């Protein structure tokens, strides 16, 4: 039991986020960037490029650039899903649509995410590959599970680090006399 606990504890600490987690403003347009289980959920190859420059004009402001792409594998019918229209003008929430709709066949999805996030003198480059499995449970419900693996490189530009002159009378620093 102790061995299992140590293994689970070690696996749980593989990656943690704190102050340097990128801030995605367009997550509604690209949910895949936050959830690898969405890879291959669409009927097409989905490629997205994003550039975000927060607080323009301020030195050291966060800048995030990413490219994401994902596609389905083994999807039998690329035309008929709950979000596609087979007949022009067909209502996807209409009774006749749902009476004829069946759960999608199980399929896989793969994708990549390449990202560079820079805040001040800290820069983080990441490249990830994703895999997902999609299983239709009912006409309106699909279960999907995903996996993300890759590399991250965090670097510090030491030439941009500046230390201010310390004031010995500043009580926050904690100088002591004697």
**pLDDT tens digits, one per residue of 38-70:** 999 888 899 999 999 988 889 889 999 999 999
**Are 135 and 142 contacting, i.e. CB atoms less than 8 angstroms apart?**
yes
Confidence at residue 123, expressed as pLDDT on a 0 to 100 scale:
92
pTM above 0.85, yes or no: no
**Are 147 and 36 contacting, i.e. CB atoms less than 8 angstroms apart?**
yes
Mean pLDDT of the chain: 81
Task: Name the region of 27 (left: φ>0; alpha: ψ -120 to 50; beta: rest).
Answer: alpha
Confidence at residue 42, expressed as pLDDT on a 0 to 100 scale:
86
């Amino acid at each position: 039991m102790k061995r299992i606990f140590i293994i689970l504890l070690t696996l749980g600490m593989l990656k943690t986020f704190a102050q340097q987690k990128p801030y995605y403003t367009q997550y509604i347009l690209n949910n895949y960037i936050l959830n690898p289980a969405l890879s291959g959920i669409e009927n097409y190859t989905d490629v997205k490029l994003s550039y975000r420059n927060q607080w323009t004009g301020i030195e050291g402001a966060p800048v995030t650039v990413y490219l994401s792409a994902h596609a389905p594998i083994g999807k039998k019918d690329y035309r008929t899903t709950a979000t596609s229209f087979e007949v022009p003008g067909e209502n996807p929430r209409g009774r006749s649509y749902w009476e004829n709709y069946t759960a999608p066949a199980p399929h896989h999805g793969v994708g990549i995410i390449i990202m560079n996030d820079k805040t001040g003198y800290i820069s983080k480059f990441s490249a990830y590959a994703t895999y997902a499995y999609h299983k239709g449970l009912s006409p309106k419900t699909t279960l999907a599970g995903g996996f993300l693996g890759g590399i991250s490189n965090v670097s510090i530009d030491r030439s941009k680090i500046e230390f201010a002159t310390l004031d010995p009378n500043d009580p926050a620093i904690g100088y002591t006399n004697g």
